[in-house]
Amino acid sequence: MLELDECRGGTEASDALVLFGVTGNLARKKIFPALYALAKRGVLDVPVVGVAASQWNSAQLRQRAKDSIAKSGGIDDQPALSQLLSRLHYVSGDYNDPETFQALKKVLGDARRPAYYLAIPTALFATVIKGIAAAGLADHARVILEKPFGRDLASARALNRVARSVFPENSIFRIDHYLAKEAIMNILYFRFANSFLEPIWNRNYVASIQITLSENFGIEDRGAFYETTGCLRDVVQNHLFQIVALLAMEPPTYREFGAVHDATATVLKAMRPLKAEDLLRGQYAGYRKEPGVAKQSDVETFCALRLFIDSWRWEGVPWYLRSGKYLAETIAEVIVQLKPPPQRLFADAAPLSGSANYLRFRLSPNSAVALAARVKRAGQEFIGDQHELYLLDERPGEEGPYERLLGDAMVGKGALFTREDSVEAAWAVVAPVLKDHQRVISYSRHSWGPKQADALIKADGHWHNPIHGQA
């Protein structure tokens, strides 16, 4: 079977977890609830040390963790919560100050195999990694890096050099939490566990593929962060490209997850670099009034793009990707649009009537796979309707992505993390349009983005707007 336990950085589990940026939004919204879930499963049995510049103490950190957990889903296991809180410790300090890392060393005590999670801005990665090394804290350790990994190809390469100067590649875990979602993992399983799909999974039968990842809320209180990032960096070159890679990859050549990494990296390297005409950038109305945002900001909160993969399987097949803030729904979905039958036998099956079959992957908020097929209506006339054959739904009790990724990184499982060559290949695709692009186009909140995005896809139909609540 496909081996998911690809161990990295040795086979011994980490004996401490250090969270840089522990007072930030990511820790509050995602990391503390994930740690609580691990504690409930009885697998979090190491000290957890938070590091940040805020003048807090350990008691304040524990209160923040408790509040975060209560708000995210409630507290239903008091012993597990108490165990987690008892393991939390806090170090306050400047990442540029060597004394911060000496204080961390003291708190770590006898720990010899810590895992460092850098939930901080990319610009601080190199500073923290060098600080860890200078304090003698890098031996036998692992480092977990939150996305986006760099701001462009040059910075990603520079960051890789810094990381590899301190940690071996198999001890570097680059997080893209989308890879750990159950629905994303199901794409890989669905493709290669079923024999019926392979004969049609190519340019001869697939007309186009659409991926939508939308949110019905804005940047909230992350204006300063978003001004340095934008939608293209924040979502497209990591989340969406990883989904594309899983959909487009060739069958793995051997039954270990390293073969999956090889195959997805090959797809990313085959992606045609984007041109300005392939990209449309939008900005929701009122973005420039958000705290921390420049009054004349040209940062995009919406991206729509047309992508091509120069491979034998996908030559000429357009991939349409879009993502944004303040869109109509919070939802993620893939539509694989198949070509119509080669001969038009029935009047209601015209190519332009939207009657061609498609395969739909619902990725969030619920998980589903469906196949659209036409079925004849009762009666003598050959008229039918398109219906979906529902294939799969999510199951209760699934691990959350951060729970899964933190647990995997702590024991050295690298299957669901991105590799250095994949990160750099993704940046190479977007590199031409990071600076060479048109200005943003304003769009109304709770719409599907600028109307001009329709022109990108017009030659192949129209955008499929997912419906919340639909299976």
Where residue 208 sits, what CATH number does that domain have?
3.30.360.10
Residue 123 placed within a domain: yes
Question: Under 8 Å CB-to-CB from 165, ≥6 apart: which residues?
Answer: 133
pLDDT 10s digits, 59-105: 999 999 999 999 988 899 999 999 999 999 999 999 999 999 999 99
Tell me if residue 462 is catalytic: no
* Residue at which a domain ends, from 155, 174, 193: 174
CB 446 within 8 A of CB 326: yes
What CA–CA distance (Å, rounded) separates 98 from 135? Answer: 7
3-state SS assignment for residue 405 = helix
439 and 381 in a common domain? yes
Set 89, 177, 239, 261: catalytic member:
239
Structure token digits, residue 246: 């899983």
278 and 196 in a common domain? yes
Using CA atoms in the order 185, 190, 192, 194, what is the torsion angle rounded to 10 degrees? 160
Phi, psi of 362 (to 5 degrees): -90, 120
Residue 28 placed within a domain: yes
Q: Nearest Cα to 242, choosing from 123, 400, 403, 363?
A: 363
- What pTM did the predictor assign? 0.89
412 and 388 in a common domain? yes
196 and 133 in a common domain? no
Distance set, CA 89 to CA 35, 56, 73, 113, 287 (Å) = 14, 11, 23, 17, 37
| CA angle centred on 174, ends 173 and 175, rounded to 5° | 110
CB 371 within 8 A of CB 387: no
Q: Assign residue 469 a region: left if phi > 0, alpha if psi is -120 to 50, beta otherwise?
A: left
Distance set, CA 454 to CA 160, 303, 404, 450, 466 (Å) = 38, 12, 37, 8, 15
What CA–CA distance (Å, rounded) separates 95 from 338? Answer: 52
pLDDT score recorded for residue 354: 57
Task: List per-residue pLDDT tens for the chain, 471 residues long.
Answer: 455 445 555 568 999 999 999 999 889 999 999 999 999 999 999 999 999 999 999 999 999 999 999 998 889 999 999 999 999 999 999 999 999 999 999 999 999 999 999 999 888 999 999 999 999 999 999 999 988 888 999 999 999 999 999 999 999 999 887 777 888 888 888 999 999 999 999 999 999 999 999 999 999 888 888 998 999 999 999 999 999 999 999 998 887 878 888 999 999 999 999 999 999 999 999 999 999 999 999 999 999 999 999 999 999 999 999 999 999 999 999 999 999 888 777 777 655 445 688 999 999 888 889 998 888 888 878 888 888 888 776 666 667 888 888 899 999 888 888 889 999 999 999 999 999 999 999 999 999 999 999 999 988 889 999 876 565
DSSP string, 105-145: HHHHTT--SEEEEE-S-GGGHHHHHHHHHHTT--TT-EEEE
191 and 154 in a common domain? no
Q: Which domain holds residue 57?
A: 16-174
Where residue 96 sits, what CATH number does that domain have?
3.40.50.720
Q: How far separated are the first and last CA of the chain, in Å rounded?
A: 30
pLDDT score recorded for residue 132: 97
- The number of domains in the chain is 2
382 and 304 in a common domain? yes
What CA–CA distance (Å, rounded) separates 59 from 383? Answer: 69
What CA–CA distance (Å, rounded) separates 432 from 272? Answer: 11
346 and 294 in a common domain? yes
What CA–CA distance (Å, rounded) separates 301 from 287? Answer: 8
DSSP H helix total and E strand total for the chain:
15, 15
Residue 4 placed within a domain: no
What CA–CA distance (Å, rounded) separates 90 from 294? Answer: 34
Q: Nearest Cα to 207, choosing from 341, 400, 301, 45?
A: 341
pLDDT score recorded for residue 204: 96
